[in-house]
Amino acid sequence: GDDKYEEVDEREKQPHSEQKKWEEEQMHSASWRVGAKSGVKKEDYDYVFDEQIEFIQALRMPGDKEMTMKEKERSVSEAQKKKMDIEETRRSLPIYHYKESLVDAVQNHQVLIIEGETGSGKTTQIPQYLHEAGFTKDGKKIGCTQPRRVAAMSVSARVAVEMGVKLGNEVGYSIRFEDCTSERTIIKYMTDGTLHREFLSEPDLQGYSVMIIDEAHERTLHTDILFGLVKDIARFRPDLKLLISSATLDAEKFSTFFDNAPIFRIPGRRFPVDIYYTKAPEADYIDAATVSILQIHATQPLGDILVFLTGQEEIETCQEILQERVKRLGSKLKELLILPVYSNLPSEMQAKIFEPTPPGARKVVLATNIAETSLTIDNIIYVIDPGFCKQNNFNSRTGMESLIVVPISKASANQRAGRAGRVAAGKCFRLYTAWAFKHELEDNTVPEIQRINLGNAVLMLKALGINDLVHFDFLDPPPHETLVLALEQLYALGALNHHGELTKLGRRMAEFPVDPMMAKMILASEKYKCSDEIVTICAMLSVNGAIFYRPKDKIIHADTARKNFNCPGGDHLVLHNVYKQWADTEFSTQWCYENFIQYRSMKRARDVREQLVGLMQRVEIDIVSTDGDTVPIRKAITAGYFYHIARLSKGGQYKTVKHNQTVMVHPNSMLFEDLPRWVLYHELVFTTKEFMRQVIEIESKWLLEVAPHYYKARELEDSTNKKMPKLLGKAKAELGVVN
């Protein structure tokens, strides 16, 4: 969904047991071997280790610095030919040959399922074809949803270039907290979450002639809900064309769901990809990945490399290690361009990954899952797949949500491998064993709707007037417990009444494109007269912890700078303090630099804050400040996050109040050194343990004040009382849940 994927950047690797680690270290010098699947040819070669650098230096590589300069000049003149190249590229895409028949099919059918290999041109070309065919006449738009923010931004940028228009005019994008469209926009890319939200203001999508639900196979929560919504709309808007576009696999399932809509298949090009597995599991896949990159670079013919990592932090680590090693190898190697791709990457940097690699050089793209299907980078010949991705998981028993790194599915692994075979025969190096692929990976990724908290989705559906969630047309229904829990949570927050209907508070909450808990905290700030502080805190929380910069060579300075921001109350107030000081410098870049603060994140926080302030004005909340008193601020936070309360128990550990789960304060928290008795956390991250991130100190009696229907005084004395609130008899009965 909208931002879930993209803003989650922090994690550490899951630990291996000591025994396993030892075994893995012993086996670490394992060499690649041809996997059972390919059997095309055998090419064993050893890993490159630091000790082996001499070996690489001994290799004679063509292309020295002087030549690279000349090549760079050549690539400048290439830029002038860009426009012609664009036309040529467009014609070379597999989808180009199906242009007419595709337009015909859209004209003849209201709903069409489109299936085509990733990179065949679905996302960038279909909206243009339909525009050329007249679907944007009489001022109607063509919409196209993307599960990921970066994809929406980068694809629209590409299409704007192809159409020779300025991004934001005829072609634009809209993502949470950022709308880059205008009245002139006729092709609009947006995240699935954004379209979900648009239903609130335009329930019949009247402004659109065509809606494309793209990357449908990703099965994000929002995409899944959109399926039900657009299917319904298509019934009473016969003029609306609906396209469901997906990479591979699920076409039949989509067709069945959309009353047997025809499937339009775009035969893709795919060159063979040799699959290689490691002989033994890798203890440290980032290290293994860097070693593999260098090894490919030193021994394999030119062609770009794509590496799948799980998040920004991992990508930055890998980039650092790689840069250092490349530097040590000196000029003996050909030029290696290292390019990261993740959601928070500024757009100028994003554009770089699509620039052609200068002749004689090699590009290595370090990407999150986004490069699996959402973005196609040309000329990838080698793929390195460590086999993990970051996933949001929700435990419906405990109601706890956490972000964890999990093994990918076989379907994902095959998608990733396929990225190597788009332009020529390629190679995919899996940093896991053939046995693990066969026995440890699930066949398919579980759709998000079946594994995450539905609070937000349920609130949105209720706000759309869809009360009967049991009979909502889900492609795959969510588990009953998860629905019940979402209803209970919304009831406890005051967004639903005991009939399960939206309250006035709930309606106001739905205006905010944030989690219901955060929406509640914003609304509570009105009562506690601290809306100014709360809106800043929300904006800072929304950039998800990527505020403090901690370069390896200046850790002590960075940590001292960070401590200087500490202030009574806890981490939320620290975030507020950082923002306030920055605002006092008139948003200075230099100040960020001196204080080890990430300027980019702050800039984004500022944008988000502006957006939120706008929304607050819409629901008529005045922006007022408490001028220093932190109690009202912490109470407002508690009014939203009273689910996230933990009490100090033995040995510096905490127990969550409702479920008695053991959790710890994250070492990055300012409260880590002086643990208060009662704390509220913003989120849990599972690394080596369940850690609470962004923590404030609270008083237990506030809970009775802000959530009297959820906490009983008794419970706050005795942590073993795990009774759930009595609730929603009707809603539960509807769901067939027996108490």
Residues of this chain that bind ligand CDP (CB under 6 A): 93, 116, 118-125, 154-155, 157-158, 354, 376, 378
Token pair 């920004």 in the structure block, residue? 312
DSSP 48-100: P-GGGHHHHHHS--S--HHHHHHHHHHHHHHHHTHHHHHHHHHHHSGGGGGHH
Alpha helices in 353-400 (DSSP H): 370-373
- Between 9 and 214, whose beta carbon lies closer to ligand CDP? 214
Q: Are 428 and 275 in contact (CB under 8 A)?
A: yes
- The one of Mg ion, ligand CDP, none whose footprint includes residue 93, by CB under 5 to 8 A per kind, is ligand CDP
In whole angstroms, the minimum distance from the beta carbon of 116 to ligand CDP comes to: 5
Distance between first and last Cα of the chain? 32
In whole angstroms, the minimum distance from the beta carbon of 3 to Mg ion comes to: 19
Q: Are 276 and 42 in contact (CB under 8 A)?
A: no
Q: Are 611 and 177 in contact (CB under 8 A)?
A: yes
In whole angstroms, the minimum distance from the beta carbon of 378 to ligand CDP comes to: 4
Residues 186-225 that bind Mg ion (CB under 5 A): none
- Between 123 and 181, whose beta carbon lies closer to Mg ion? 123
List residues bridging with 695 in a β-sheet. 681
* Closest among 53, 124, 44 to 90, alpha carbons compared: 124
* Closest among 588, 625, 584, 617 to 603, alpha carbons compared: 588
Around Cβ 120, how many Cβ atoms within 10 Å?
23
- Between 423 and 441, whose beta carbon lies closer to ligand CDP? 423
Around Cβ 514, how many Cβ atoms within 10 Å?
23
- The one of Mg ion, ligand CDP, none whose footprint includes residue 417, by CB under 5 to 8 A per kind, is none
In whole angstroms, the minimum distance from the beta carbon of 173 to ligand CDP comes to: 11
In whole angstroms, the minimum distance from the beta carbon of 371 to Mg ion comes to: 11
- Between 214 and 314, whose beta carbon lies closer to Mg ion? 214
Q: Which two tokens stand for residue 124?
A: 């960038």
- The one of ligand CDP, Mg ion, none whose footprint includes residue 94, by CB under 5 to 8 A per kind, is none
- The one of Mg ion, ligand CDP, none whose footprint includes residue 154, by CB under 5 to 8 A per kind, is ligand CDP
- Between 211 and 707, whose beta carbon lies closer to ligand CDP? 211
- The one of Mg ion, ligand CDP, none whose footprint includes residue 155, by CB under 5 to 8 A per kind, is ligand CDP
In whole angstroms, the minimum distance from the beta carbon of 375 to Mg ion comes to: 8
The number of residues that bind Mg ion (CB under 5 A) is 2
- Between 161 and 727, whose beta carbon lies closer to ligand CDP? 161
In whole angstroms, the minimum distance from the beta carbon of 445 to ligand CDP comes to: 18
Cα(701)–Cα(704) distance, rounded to whole angstroms?
5
Q: Find the residue with minimal CB distance to Mg ion.
A: 123
- Between 376 and 638, whose beta carbon lies closer to ligand CDP? 376
Cα(528)–Cα(537) distance, rounded to whole angstroms?
15
In terms of Cβ atoms closer than 10 Å to its own Cβ (0-12, 13-18, 19+), residue 713 is exposed
- The one of Mg ion, ligand CDP, none whose footprint includes residue 191, by CB under 5 to 8 A per kind, is none
In whole angstroms, the minimum distance from the beta carbon of 261 to ligand CDP comes to: 19
In whole angstroms, the minimum distance from the beta carbon of 399 to Mg ion comes to: 35
Q: Which two tokens stand for residue 289?
A: 């990945």
Parallel, antiparallel or unpaired: strands 273-278 and 32-34: antiparallel
- The one of ligand CDP, Mg ion, none whose footprint includes residue 454, by CB under 5 to 8 A per kind, is none
- Between 219 and 572, whose beta carbon lies closer to ligand CDP? 219
Q: What per-residue string of b and e applies to 663-685 under the rule 16 or more CB within 10 Å gives b?
A: bbbbebbbbeeebbebbbbbbbb
Separation in Å, CA 518 to CA 465, 643, 709? 22, 12, 19
Q: Which two tokens stand for residue 538?
A: 């929300």
Token pair 């337009």 in the structure block, residue? 103
- The one of Mg ion, ligand CDP, none whose footprint includes residue 120, by CB under 5 to 8 A per kind, is ligand CDP
Token pair 């479920």 in the structure block, residue? 659
* Closest among 495, 528, 519 to 615, alpha carbons compared: 519
Among 123, 312, 433, 542, binds Mg ion (CB under 5 A): 123
- The one of ligand CDP, Mg ion, none whose footprint includes residue 525, by CB under 5 to 8 A per kind, is none
- Between 154 and 638, whose beta carbon lies closer to ligand CDP? 154
- The one of ligand CDP, Mg ion, none whose footprint includes residue 116, by CB under 5 to 8 A per kind, is ligand CDP
Angle (CA) 246-248-254 rounded to 5° is: 55
- Between 125 and 278, whose beta carbon lies closer to ligand CDP? 125
In whole angstroms, the minimum distance from the beta carbon of 555 to Mg ion comes to: 41
Using DSSP's 3-state secondary structure scheme, residue 300 falls into: coil
In whole angstroms, the minimum distance from the beta carbon of 258 to ligand CDP comes to: 20
- Between 136 and 376, whose beta carbon lies closer to ligand CDP? 376
In whole angstroms, the minimum distance from the beta carbon of 93 to ligand CDP comes to: 6
- The one of Mg ion, ligand CDP, none whose footprint includes residue 682, by CB under 5 to 8 A per kind, is none
- Between 122 and 176, whose beta carbon lies closer to Mg ion? 122
Which range of residues in 12-20, 108-116, 120-128, 383-391 is near Mg ion by CB under 5 A?
A: 120-128
- The one of ligand CDP, Mg ion, none whose footprint includes residue 357, by CB under 5 to 8 A per kind, is none
- Between 122 and 131, whose beta carbon lies closer to Mg ion? 122
In whole angstroms, the minimum distance from the beta carbon of 178 to ligand CDP comes to: 17
- Between 119 and 569, whose beta carbon lies closer to ligand CDP? 119
- Helix H, strand E, coil C: the string for 635-690 is HHHHHHHCCCEEEECHHHCEEECCCCCEEEECCCCHHHHCCCCEEEEEEEEECCCE
- The one of Mg ion, ligand CDP, none whose footprint includes residue 604, by CB under 5 to 8 A per kind, is none
In whole angstroms, the minimum distance from the beta carbon of 12 to ligand CDP comes to: 31
Alpha helices in 303-421 (DSSP H): 312-329, 347-352, 370-373, 410-418
Q: Are 600 and 543 in contact (CB under 8 A)?
A: no
Token pair 């290696």 in the structure block, residue? 336
- The one of ligand CDP, Mg ion, none whose footprint includes residue 376, by CB under 5 to 8 A per kind, is ligand CDP
Give contact residues for Mg ion (rule: CB under 5 A). 122-123
